[in-house]
């Protein structure tokens, strides 16, 4: 039986145990959607998986860079003044330093391919983009500004839903923002939503689903209830593409799925088609 037990055939190359320690963190990534491993730089400026087209989550300020010709931030000073829930202040402080934002949304007036819009971008790196009262306040003011100045609103949604630490006040934001969406709508102005990964919970159940036109990024997770909650309610395993942008489009809730690199052109085109023609 020595034939099968040939000691000599074992590899003479020693495995270097420390090799993993010498590779810097974040050099290689796995796509959260398709799972394919790739070299970080392969993602390119838009940070898109070149295998499946999934757009990696971006910070609001990164998106401004990619999307706009110019951007003038508004209400940057607005932030939660009295976070009284235990541990909330610490979480806020960490989120602020990570994102250089005062809240989970960045708002301002932007030019996208020459088109002037009121732009809001939610940041999932800020407490999972949760809807706090100051998040709601910034979005509300964005709509009020847009209505006063006859501007379209372009809003990029990214949110895990309500901000638990703020309790019922977080829920009230859904109605507060809806009130200004209604006023903006009545003024005959365009509200364009871009659903990005992830848009869930209270944001989906309010302003994310109130747009005149709704775009989405490829494979973005969009839904109301969390997948785990649904699975434990109906005792059934959910399919892989459940609550993904493509499924929502099939079901009739998304107008178009637009790759990140084309978003600025598509947005500008839609805005242009809503110019009020002088009579």
Partner 1 sequence: MVNIGLNLFKHELTPAEVVKKSREDRFLAREIIDGIFTDFVELHGDRLSGDDMSVIGGIAALNGTPVTVIAIDKGIDIHDKLSKRNGSPEPWGYRKAQRLMKQANKFHRPIITFINTPGAFPGKTAEAQGQGEAIATSILESMKLTVPMIAIIYGEGGSGGALALATSDQVWMFQNATYSILSPEGFASILWKDSKRADEAAAVMGLTPKDLLAKKVIEYVIPESRSHTRVFNLMRKRLDDEFKQLNALSPQDLVKQRRARFRAF
Residue 53: burial class (beta carbons within 10 Å; 0-12, 13-18, 19+): middle
User: Is 34 annotated as belonging to a binding site?
Assistant: yes
CB of 201 to partner 1, least distance (A): 8
Look up residue 14 and give its DSSP letter.
Answer: P
CA distances (Å), origin 243, targets 16, 59, 123, 186, 263? 43, 22, 20, 31, 21
Please list, in sequence order, all residues whose beta carbon lies within 8 angstroms of the beta carbon of residue 279, skipping any fewer than 6 positions away: none
Nearest distance from residue 140's CB to partner 1, in Å? Answer: 7
Q: Tokens 């999307």 correspond to what residue?
A: 67
Of residues 108 and 211, the one with the C-beta less far from partner 1 = 211
Q: Say how many CA atoms lie within 13 Å of 44 toward its Cβ.
A: 11
Q: Which residues are bridge partners to 192 per DSSP?
A: 154, 213
Residue among 53 and 226 whose Cβ is closer to partner 1? 226
The distance of closest approach from Cβ of residue 226 to partner 1 in the complex, given in angstroms and rounded to an integer, is 8
Between 49 and 146, CB nearer to partner 1: 146
**Nearer of residues 126 and 143 to partner 1, judged by Cβ:** 143
Distance CA 57, CA 63 (A): 10
Annotated binding residue 251 = no
Q: At what angle do helices 263-272 and 60-67 cross, to 10 degrees?
A: 70
Give 59 or 201: the residue with its C-beta nearer to partner 1: 201
Shortest distance, CB of residue 154 to partner 1, whole angstroms?
A: 18
User: Token pair for residue 101?
Assistant: 């934002």
Q: Which C-beta is closer to partner 1: that of 108 or that of 223?
A: 223
CA distances from 48 to 35, 56, 106, 114 (A): 13, 6, 22, 25
- Which residues form the interface with partner 1 (CB under 8 A)? 85-86, 133, 136, 140, 162, 164-176, 178-183, 186, 201-202, 204-210, 222-226, 229-230, 233-234, 236, 238, 242-243, 247, 251-253
CB of 47 to partner 1, least distance (A): 26
52 annotated as a binding-site residue: yes
* Nearest-approach distance from CB 248 to partner 1, in angstroms: 8
- One-character DSSP codes across 189-207: --EEEEEEEEE-HHHHTTG
258 carries a ligand binding annotation:
no
Q: How far is the CB of 170 from partner 1 (least distance, A)?
A: 6
Contact 259, 246 (CB under 8 A): no
Which is closer to partner 1, CB of 104 or CB of 170? 170
- Asked whether 158 and 198 are in contact (CB, 8 A), the reply is yes
Q: Known binding site: residues?
A: 31, 34, 49, 52
Q: Which positions make up the binding site for Zn(2+)? A: 31, 34, 49, 52
């Amino acid at each position: 039986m020595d034939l099968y037990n040939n000691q000599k055939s074992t590899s003479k190359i020693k495995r270097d145990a420390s090799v993993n320690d010498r590779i810097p963190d974040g050099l290689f990534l796995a796509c959260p959607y398709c799972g394919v491993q790739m070299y970080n730089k392969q993602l390119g400026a838009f940070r898109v998986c070149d295998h499946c087209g999934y757009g990696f989550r971006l910070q609001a300020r990164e998106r401004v860079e990619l999307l706009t010709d110019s951007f003038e931030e508004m209400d940057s000073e607005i932030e939660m003044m009295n976070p009284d829930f235990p541990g909330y202040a610490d979480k806020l402080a960490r989120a602020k330093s990570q994102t250089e934002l005062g809240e989970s949304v960045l708002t301002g007036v932007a030019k996208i391919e020459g088109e002037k819009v009121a732009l809001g971008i939610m940041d999932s790196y800020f407490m999972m983009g949760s809807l706090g009262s100051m998040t709601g306040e910034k979005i509300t003011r964005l709509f009020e500004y847009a209505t006063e100045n006859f501007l379209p609103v372009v809003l990029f949604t990214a949110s895990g839903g309500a901000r638990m630490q703020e309790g019922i006040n977080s829920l009230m934001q859904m109605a507060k923002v809806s009130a200004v969406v209604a006023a903006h709508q009545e003024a005959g102005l365009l509200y364009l939503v871009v659903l990005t990964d992830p848009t869930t919970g209270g944001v989906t159940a309010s302003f994310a689903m109130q747009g005149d036109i709704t775009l989405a990024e490829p494979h973005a997770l969009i839904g109301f209830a969390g997948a785990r909650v649904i699975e434990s309610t109906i005792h059934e395993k959910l399919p892989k593409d459940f609550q993904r942008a493509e499924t929502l489009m099939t079901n009739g809730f998304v107008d178009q799925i637009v790759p990140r690199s084309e978003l600025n052109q598509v947005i500008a085109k839609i805005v242009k088609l809503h110019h009020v023609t002088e009579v």
